[in-house]
Chains A and B, each alone.
Chain A
Amino acid sequence: MRRAATTAAANLVFRRDLTLAWRRWDEVAQPLIFYVVVTTLFPLATTPDLSQLRVISGGVVWVAALLASLLALESLFRSDVEDGTMEQWVLSGQPLGWLLLAKVASHWVLTGLPLVIMSPVVGTALGLPFDAWGALVASLLLGTATLSILGGIGAALTVGVRRGSVLLSLLVLPLAMPLLIFGSRAVGMAMDGDSPAGPLQLLAAIFFLTLSLGPLAMSAAIRISVES
């Protein structure tokens, strides 16, 4: 009986967040627009020559996705903590990790997934060849999902802190560096004609590790933030 209630609760959280975001879709669009703008900065700052940009295109797309995701993460738990919903979740008797994971999942659907869909377009603008699209999308799918969970831990720790978004980035970026390294390496290998299987498998391993332990850390952090 209780198991069904947990899935039902998680489902409810997931659909509630999607519904809320649907009513304020301009907030959802902002990280995506930031993503496109940031990638535009690089050819302006370095060189418009596509053959030179191609070399860094995978890395630039990844860094821009990282920064755009971080921007969106600060508000992940803020409104729920402020109006007391989070306190009710902590007291609800449901496994807090599941509820938080549902929230992170809806956040990923709203921010991470659009970034992944947009990435081939943005990559092509930087000279990324078509052969690398598969590696780019696969690495970003795994990477943004992992980043949502890592960012969830950071957001849970820094909820309510003034200028929390800078602190959040400072906390999450060191943990996200391995993702960046493997993700852009996968794209780089695909561009060179090698199989990107190695880095992609490592990304998948990091994703599953984060998926299994992340909710634990998130719920500990939320309890600390809410009980203080």
Chain B
Amino acid sequence: MWLWFHKLASPPHAYRVLGKLAPWFGWPALATILLATWWGLVKAPADYQQGDAFRILYVHAPSAWMSMFIYVVMAIAAAVGLIWRIKLAHAAAAAAAPIGASFTFLALATGSIWGKPMWGTWWVWDARLTSELILLFLYLGYMALRSSFDDPQRADRASAVLAIVGVINVPIIHYSVEWWTTLHQPASVTKIDKPSIAIEMLYPLFIMIIGFQLYFGWAISRRLRGEILRRERNASWLKEAR
């Protein structure tokens, strides 16, 4: 019954499946992101305090969400690779890291752009911004550690340990606005209560998050295929692959 699942650990099978899956992520991703962009920029009402400037939320919040989500995905993939010794899991973690780092950078950059008109400053060393910056450093450290070994097995397993050790930062980022008085506003949605944001503003936010998730699905399918190609470049199954 679980054969379909176990077969995914095989590089040639995963290569085929990901190749077929990628467009099913990619096109819906494009459509959803476009829809959410239009909805957020045009249809959603302006904020009573911030006016139209708040609309950068529709890029900033989903990027920040993705940056944390991808780190957890990376850490889980690394753990799976370490525990069950599945090389494809390590490949998935390696493929996810640059995507996660890009989202983290995007979150920091859009947050900075939003902060200048709203708070009057490009940056402030409060708990959430600092811990998100630490997340970026963790991603970069992970990628640096990976590239510093010639032996691919050691690279996989050492960076897996690092990814798992660093996952403690993710709950710190999320709860930083609760545990400390920060300039960054507290959680409006991911909390046990009614959302403290108007529902008309929430719809495009959710749609954009779905769009970014689909984008991540597309990007990691493509990148993982590339990783498989790189790792299996001398294998005979590649000659018949499409």
What residues of chain A have their CB less than 8 Å away from a CB belonging to chain B? 153, 157-158, 161-162, 164, 167, 170-171, 173-175, 177-178, 181, 217, 220-221, 224-225, 228
Contact = CB atoms under 8 A, between A and B. Distances in A.
B148 A174 contact: no
B157 to A, nearest CB: 4
Given A174-B137, A174-B166, A177-B134, A224 B161 contact: yes
Contacts of A225: 154, 158
Interface in B48-81: none
Contacts of A220: 82, 161
Given A167-B148, A177-B134, A157 B161 contact: yes
24 contacts: A153-B161, A158-B148, A161-B149, A167-B144, A170-B144, A171-B141, A171-B144, A171-B145, A171-B162, A174-B137, A174-B138, A174-B141, A174-B166, A174-B169, A175-B165, A175-B166, A178-B172, A181-B130, A217-B161, A217-B164, A220-B82, A221-B161, A224-B154, A228-B153
Contacts of A173: 137
Interface of B (DSSP majority class): helix
Contacts, number: 55
A170 B151 CA distance: 21
A224 B158 CA distance: 7
A162 B137 CA distance: 21
B21 interface: no
Contacts of B137: 170, 173-174
B101 to A, nearest CB: 13
